[in-house]
Structure 1
Amino acid sequence: MSPMSNANPMAATELSPFVYWSQTKDTLLLKVDLKDAQGVIAEFTPTTMSFGANGHGARGRNAYKFQMRFFQPIDDETATFTVTDHKIELLIHKAEPAWWVRLVATPQKPHWLRVDFDRWRTEDDAELNEPARDVREDYVEEYNNLQKQEIGYVRENAKKVYLIIYNLAMFVGYLHILIIMGVLYIRDGPDSIKHTYEYVGTSFKFVQLMQYMEVMHPLFGYTKGSPLVPFFQISGRNFVLFLMIEMEPRMHAKPVVFYVFIIWSLVELVRYPYYVSQLLKRENGLLTWLRYTIWIPLYPMGIVCEGVILLRSIPYIEETKRFCVDMPNKWNSTFDMVLFVKVYLLLLALPGSYLVMSHMSKLRVKKLGRGRAKPKIK
């Protein structure tokens, strides 16, 4: 039996566009030869790239896609692409400045990959010694097929299995909260709003505390990035949930609690399935678009709701003196919680919202592109 007899029959129907590449010591520039491209998706990891789009290429107007494993690691956080009428250009920064002997990990170059001689640069008098490589990483699909033939299944990394279970569990948790809120609203109408915290407050506190696992993940190397970003994001929510709502019973029946729970839950109902799809390497264009678009209406509404909760809590704190420290005391110091909340509210409304919006906007550009360029006027 020939080696091709075990090939996936669907693979033959997948079309790959022509890709032209060039490099500098610090960057890679890929030009995808597709005209009038729509639905462009480019996903990056430190070692791989997955691309998909509908456009007019070498085989006419079709859906085109390709995957590649890079010769060396890249900085996937800064990789971006730009869509124009005649092509898609991808700008990728190398993790370490160096001249690569080739773009892909495998010595065999894909038939659709070509050198962009118009932009090609080389390092004169450089000795490009190829480092030792792991064949299992260079030939991922072939290695997985070999495992299936030998042991009947593909061994999954324990970290990957844990992350899939964690993200699925968090998705189920937030879905459970939204379903309860929806059922109560259908049954009791607007009267159910004031009972929101009574019914789902405990569940919401549990899932919010569980989110601190996302601070631990980068510390243990399960995910990339800094633990400070998830720490401040999660702590900001928990400050509102535990100190402003949980500690003041009079806040439990406020309608704003109902609205902020819906907004927070909707964000997570998209975020966690997106993470699962990335772990399983099952790209979903709609899910990716929702992940990097749904924040546009939800984040401003969430910030407004959190601001309202903080404002409504100030009179209660002034009345109860909760969390306030007055002189004299053994620490010989004071703390005015009312002033702290006012400063926190100011930071949330101005620099905080700007930083969050700009960060998400950059991620959206990276994942979905800058959009179609306007034609030049001659």
Structure 2
Amino acid sequence: MVALNPIVYWAQNQKDIFLRVELRDVKDENVVLLEDSLRFEATGVGACGLDKYAFHFNFFESINPGKSKYRATDRQVEFSLRKENCGKWWKRLTEESLKLPWLKIDFDKWKSPEDFEEETRDILQDRPDILRQLQEDEGVIEPINYRQVYLFVYNMAQFIGFLYIFVVMMINYAKKGPDSMEETFSNVGEVFKFVQLMAFLEILHVIFGYTKGGLMACFIQVLGRFIVLFGCINSEPRMQTKPVVFYLFFIWSLVELIRYPYYMFRVYNIEVSFLTWLRYTIWIALYPLGFLCEGVVYLRTIPYAEETGVFTIALPNAWNFAFHFPTAIRTLLLCFFFPGMYTTMIHMQRQRKKKLGPSYLRQKGE
């Protein structure tokens, strides 16, 4: 009786080779592990149901059997094989460059041999050149990554939105000069509200692991802009004609016209050095100016909110609850605005050090 081939996933890091045999309820396994080869036979439930499965191949490089191990669980069989030459990157798993249909790359477990940052990054981010070579050697066609497609489309849509806002503002300013400032909100306010609402998705991206980054910094930035835009500007027509709205929209748009293209390229691991430098440098000038404009908006909103009572809930009412919007703005300024500004600036400084520090220069060969 000829044994079937189970599906085997493999990955590697600097020291080890990892194998994951897709075989459940394994019985009567027979494993022969040598320095240059591996033979596996067992009965279990695989892709073709309950049957006898087996495989055998020679390694691309030698391993250390004494420091290698395997275990069979109810769901699969796992191998951890120590490389004889630790630190050497294997071009492929098998000695011969044959395309084995049952052997696949375990992208989730693959680790890069280089660790430029504190957090080890996977090969999909660090070594796309090696990934492509492995796919060619083993006949693997990378499936469509719908998460990448979604993130690219999202960032592109946000970029187009802010580009429209910026272009309209600049055209109006070129035509009318400073007189165009009072028309800023009426010209681009609706589009700005839309892209700002879309920005709440970025919080979900971090929560669900679609993107890496600090949740607190992202939350502070998105929520802060939401309060300024909807709570202070959109709710008070007299605020909408102030020049500070023009300056604020200009700064926000300029920041995003750099940030979103950077993320678009990073989704597919494309490094544009100048864009990276801009992304982690221009904030040094723009963020303080943006915070200054936001602070002015808060202060100018307080007397208007006192006069109109917008968002204020007075007692008595059915809920027995009171809320005074001007007091909330003052509290926000004193207790959250400045700590939030400090948190955001520190976060960006750490990111700049990480992205443009010595590890970045080593990657670029500088």
1:329 is paired with a residue whose SS is coil
Determine the structure 2 residue equivalent to 1:165.
153
Question: Does the 8 Å CA contact 1:303/1:348 hold for their aligned counterparts?
Answer: no
Q: Which runs of 5+ in 2 are unaligned?
A: 1-11, 17-81, 93-102, 111-122, 124-129, 360-366
The change in CA–CA distance for 1:209 and 1:276 in structure 2 (over 3 A counts) is same
Q: Does 1:358 align with 2:358?
A: no
Higher relative contact order (CA 8 A, sep 6+): 1
**1:4-47 deviation digits (Å, cap 9, x = unpaired):** xxxxxxxxxxxxxxxxxxxxxxxxxxxxxxxxxxxxxxxxxxxx
1:236 is paired with a residue whose SS is helix
Q: Does 1:295 align with 2:286?
A: no
Question: Does the 8 Å CA contact 2:217/2:343 hold for their aligned counterparts?
Answer: no
Tell me the TM-score normalized by structure 1. Answer: 0.60
Question: Does the 8 Å CA contact 1:216/1:227 hold for their aligned counterparts?
Answer: no
Q: Which runs of 5+ in 1 are unaligned?
A: 1-67, 73-99, 110-131, 372-378
- Alpha-carbon distance, 1:104 to partner: 5.3
Letter paired with 2:275: L
Quote the Cα distance in structure 1 between the aligned partners of 2:324 and 2:149.
Answer: 46
Quote the Cα distance in structure 2 between the aligned partners of 1:212 and 1:325.
Answer: 26
Question: Mean alpha-carbon deviation: is it higher for 167-176 or for 229-238?
Answer: 229-238
Larger radius of gyration: 2
Determine the structure 2 residue equivalent to 1:134.
105
**1:233-271 deviation digits (Å, cap 9, x = unpaired):** 211101000010001011110000000001111111111
Letter paired with 2:259: R
Determine the structure 2 residue equivalent to 1:276.
264
2:196 is paired with a residue whose SS is helix
1:293 is paired with a residue whose SS is coil
Question: Does the 8 Å CA contact 1:70/1:103 hold for their aligned counterparts?
Answer: yes
- Alpha-carbon distance, 1:340 to partner: 1.0
Structure 2 counterparts to residues 246-325 of structure 1, below 5 A: 246-325=234-313
**1:39-77 deviation digits (Å, cap 9, x = unpaired):** xxxxxxxxxxxxxxxxxxxxxxxxxxxxx97668xxxxx
Quote the Cα distance in structure 2 between the aligned partners of 1:303 and 1:134.
Answer: 47
What is the count of residue pairs matched by the alignment?
Answer: 252
**1:130-181 deviation digits (Å, cap 9, x = unpaired):** xx9936657512244469x887xx6431111111111111111101100000
Question: Does the 8 Å CA contact 2:280/2:352 hold for their aligned counterparts?
Answer: yes
2:153 is paired with a residue whose SS is helix
Determine the structure 2 residue equivalent to 1:77.
none
The change in CA–CA distance for 1:215 and 1:196 in structure 2 (over 3 A counts) is same
The change in CA–CA distance for 1:229 and 1:103 in structure 2 (over 3 A counts) is farther
- Alpha-carbon distance, 1:323 to partner: 1.6
Quote the Cα distance in structure 1 between the aligned partners of 2:214 and 2:15.
Answer: 25
Determine the structure 1 residue equivalent to 2:166.
178
